[in-house]
Amino acid sequence: MKVVILCGGKGTRLREETEHKPKPMVEIGDRPIIWHIMKLYSYYGFKDFVLCMGYKHQVIREYFLNYRYMNSDITVSLKSNYRITCHNNHDEDWNVTLVYTGLETKKGGRIKKIERYLDGDRFMVTYGDGVSNVNIQELIAFHEKEGALATFTGVHPISRFATVEQDASGKVIEWDEKKPLEGYINAGFFVFENKILDYIDGDVELEEQPMKNLAREGKLSMYKHNGFWHCMDTYRDYLLLEDLWESGNPPWKVW
């Protein structure tokens, strides 16, 4: 099953890091966040990726074209028979299809543009800026049980501000920083039947009319994930994920 990763956005709210690179290439530890996402899918046996690129797509392209050389010890022979020898192998046996889907294309339109690479009856999609410890096998099993055309992963959002509770007299009895909020939001990690492509008409946002129509027809389901998920939307998010990685036990690292 193919895994489609949406990598085309400009990441304007993370301008400190995205001035010269696309957001999926912002590094957590010494690896781009897209690598962390791909490692999750790979851990569950899904190693065939299609990257929908846009803003500064050349950076992503160069990273994967030079992946072996950039992640191995190498010897360069400068003799007339110029030769590069890699001395150690990385453990990523991935197939990565790199597709430029336009600079301003909306997410639904990007998926439509890579339709020719989607063989089989089902594929997965996620965003190139969110890490999680979601169990991909359980997600797929839930999708199959529900019999839906589309399943997204729902998570409880974390408040960016302190939340407080008061008693009847108005006295503050609880102060909670970064409290999980009620309700669910879309965290990506979608499972789609190929028929969903019929719901994408032109250059549209995936989360707008296509999802509304699927929900209206009873063909959309939500997999509830109560574990870790975090989107790198701002510089503050970047610093949080970096701190978690440096702690030695980042909650999204299941591999």
Q: What is the pLDDT of residues 155-193, one digit of tens each?
A: 988 766 555 677 677 666 666 666 566 689 999 999 999
Pairing of strands 229-231, 130-132: antiparallel
More confident residue, 80 or 195: 195
- For the question of whether the overall pTM of this predicted structure is more than 0.95, the answer is no
Q: How far apart are CA 102 and CA 54, in angstroms?
A: 5
Cβ–Cβ < 8 Å for 223, 143 = yes
**Percent of the chain scored above 90 by pLDDT?**
75
pLDDT tens for each residue of 47-102 = 999 999 999 999 999 999 999 888 888 899 988 788 888 887 667 899 999 999 99
Among candidate residues 241, 138, 115, the one with its CA nearest the CA of residue 189 = 138
Write down the pLDDT at residue 85: 86
Q: Which CATH number describes the domain made up of 2-63+95-153+184-246? A: 3.90.550.10
Q: Where are the domains of the chain?
A: 2-63+95-153+184-246
For the chain, the average pLDDT equals 91
What is the rounded CA–CA span in Å between residue 71 and residue 252? Answer: 22
